[in-house]
Amino acid sequence: YNLVLVQAFIIDEAIRAVKEDRSQLVKTIGMLALLWAKWNLEVDDKFRQNEVLLVMSALIYNTIGALERSRGRVPEASLAPFQPACEYFMLLLLAVEWPKSWKAPLISRTEKLFPQLGTCLSKQWGKEVLTRDTSGCMQHPLSTAEQKQAILQHPLTQAHAHLESFEAQRPEPSQEFFDSHRALYGWVMQNDEAIAQEFVHCQDPSL
């Protein structure tokens, strides 16, 4: 039961970070990725898995959309600062159990924004050429368990992996904690597109 409370608290802290400062969107996704990679939510807690996957997918999807809309207005070089975040998003898109019908088009759209991503990832994975499926979608060479471990060890995940701190700070179970959690989740899911657009704008006001 303590674990359920800690996981809910991590989600709250992740959403609160981007609510207070839109530039923290990658931190939010990193904290949610920590939850996904550290625990087997698919088996342990379907409800928590749905929360984590829905928030991550909404923010990634809308950030890619905001960058696509910006691409036509500004030189391609202006998108370069977003490449590390989008490389991290790509690792999540490849690993996380989102439906392929949803994530495959988003993987392709991300590659179009950053054509060099494939080369960067193949070097990381020690592969000369990336494997692709029949539709041309990039395939990860590692098993799901290995991908999970790689995401857990990724600097953008590790930067926020303060598990002892989360355990020490998490509130006791209460109606107030429950209501706050529900309100934060409702806020992020109602404002996902605006949050992503504001994240892009605060990184580069010309976008």
pLDDT score for 32: 96
Q: Which of 75-89, 132-146, 159-173 has the highest mean pLDDT?
A: 75-89
Structure tokens belonging to residue 200 = 């892009």
State the amino acid at position 172 in one-letter form.
Answer: E
Q: Is the confidence at residue 106, as pLDDT, over 70?
A: yes
Q: What is the rounded distance in angstroms from the CA atom of residue 155 to the CA atom of residue 82?
A: 16
Q: For 56-71, what is the mean pLDDT? A: 94
pLDDT score for 99: 93
Count CA within 13 A, CB hemisphere, residue 182.
Answer: 6
Summarize pLDDT for 144-196 with one digit per residue, the tens: 888 899 999 999 999 987 878 777 788 788 888 899 999 999 999 999 999 99
Residue 43, beta-bridge partner list: none
Q: For 124-141, what is the mean pLDDT? A: 78
Q: What is the rounded distance in angstroms from the CA atom of residue 140 to the CA atom of residue 129?
A: 11
pLDDT score for 1: 62
pLDDT score for 119: 83
Q: For 11-30, what is the mean pLDDT? A: 96
pLDDT score for 206: 74
Q: What is the rounded distance in angstroms from the CA atom of residue 11 to the CA atom of residue 123?
A: 33
* More confident of the two residues 206 and 39: 39
Indicate the range of 2-6, 14-18, 96-100 predicted with least confidence.
Answer: 2-6
pLDDT score for 43: 67
Summarize pLDDT for 32-58 with one digit per residue, the tens: 999 999 888 776 777 888 899 999 999
Q: What is the rounded distance in angstroms from the CA atom of residue 99 to the CA atom of residue 123?
A: 27
> What band does 123 get if pLDDT is binned at 50, 70 and 90?
confident
pLDDT score for 132: 81
Summarize pLDDT for 88-103 with one digit per residue, the tens: 999 999 999 999 999 9
